[in-house]
Amino acid sequence: MKSIQWIAFGAIVCGIFAIAPSSVTADMIGHGGMVRALAVSPDGSQVLTGSFDYSAKLWSFDEQKELADLNEHDGPINAVAFLPDGNRALTASDDRTIILWDLKAAKPIRILKGHTFKVMTIAVSKDGKIAATGSWDKTVRLWDIATGKQLLSVKHPTPVNAVVFADDDSSIITGAHDGKVRIWNTKSGRSKGHIQAHNMGITHLSLSPDGEGLLSSSIDTRVKLWDLKSLKQIQVFSQEQSRVLTAAISPDGKSALSANTKGELTQWNLLTGKPVRTVRAHKGMIWGVAFSPDGVFGLSASSDEVVRVWHLATGDRIGIPNEGRGEPKPWLTASHPGAVVYRKCAKCHSLRANAPRRSGPHFAKLFGRRAGAVKNYKYSDVLSKAKFVWTDESLKNLFQQGPDKFVPGTKMPVQRIEDETKLSQLISYMHELTEAPEDGSSRN
């Protein structure tokens, strides 16, 4: 019966894959197939995605811009993972291989071979020395990342969809088609116990920051939180009869994100078991979710070929790159040296007070305006309660310290301008733009 369920589920996936790409504009666009895998770098500056178009892509988080196309697999990519140094990453594919990448060079370092069927999941140990991979060949394998040597192969009763390290890397935990969570010794490969966690296949596992809790998601429409010491269930979160494809625990361990086949992204309070909010994030099913390292933002990856960024405190979508449709764009032709730097600001902010709502508040009459004062704009709590005024000095502090330090919890993605000359030029040009008439014209 369970095999039939998974065959049916595969048919659903193939049907979605055949749908034409969505025309909706969003943060990270560039894949030519559903985006199956998603990871954020340890420092939060980059995003790695894997797609059914056989490629992985590296993106900058603050600009939502593609940095590199990693295209060496011969099949769809199912999982991606950064190494702790942030300069290397692993990708796993239907082609039965795992590739270790040098992200700066955008080139493979080595290819790990040994699985005999599609590789569905990757986990990396805390020290970055060992990778664990799970496959539909009914094995979990451990690899020495430095040499590419296979260290261990653990036979599994059913195909494996999820794997995480636990107990300071002395254990690996797997989630499989039979709905069981199993715990294994990383040295011997021997079983340390199991839980019948779900009635149907497990789609994803996420470990809590303190290592004591485990979050499991399943196509049985449930997300569950487990105490790893007692192997007892703590909470159950229901997605209202929609299959859950992925879930992740926040960096502070207090909340979680889950996503389903309806394209809904839900944030949960792990203490109460109640939903914080649900956002219709995509038109197609969501395969991957992730938190930014500071827990302020959530990311979602979907069968609509798009990755989107969300400000979790408000549920707002961040960084829609339309640069103000129908608005003048003087920064594209201005001779002012600050115009080039301003182009990043133009992605999220309009110059007109009466412009359509965008991901950031408008800049009209910015200087001398109290922070959080634009009417009808949904600010983060910290900015809505702010007492300071936007001046040359406050803008300098914003970009020198970074938005996450200057106004913690802000919706503005982390970005800094350390070059004082460029920062002064930007602020000078912002004076010129924001003090100009509402038609957006400015002096060159």
Q: Which domains are seen in the chain, by residue range?
A: 2-318 (2.130.10.10), 330-434 (1.10.760.10)
Indicate the DSSP class of residue 332.
G
Predicted confidence at residue 239, as pLDDT, reads: 66
- In 314-323, which positions are buried (b, 16+ CB within 10 angstroms) versus exposed (e)? bbbbbbbbeb
Predicted confidence at residue 436, as pLDDT, reads: 66
Predicted confidence at residue 320, as pLDDT, reads: 56
Model pLDDT for residues 298-341, shown as the tens digit of each residue: 999 999 999 999 989 888 888 654 444 567 788 888 899 988 88
Indicate the DSSP class of residue 330.
G
Element (H, E) at 120: strand 119-124
Predicted confidence at residue 135, as pLDDT, reads: 98
Model pLDDT for residues 74-117, shown as the tens digit of each residue: 999 999 999 999 999 999 999 999 999 999 999 999 999 999 99
Predicted confidence at residue 322, as pLDDT, reads: 47
- DSSP states of 10-30 as a string? HHHHHHHHTSPPP----SEE-
Predicted confidence at residue 13, as pLDDT, reads: 36
Q: Which residues of the chain have pLDDT under 50?
A: 1-26, 321-324, 439-444
Predicted confidence at residue 360, as pLDDT, reads: 78
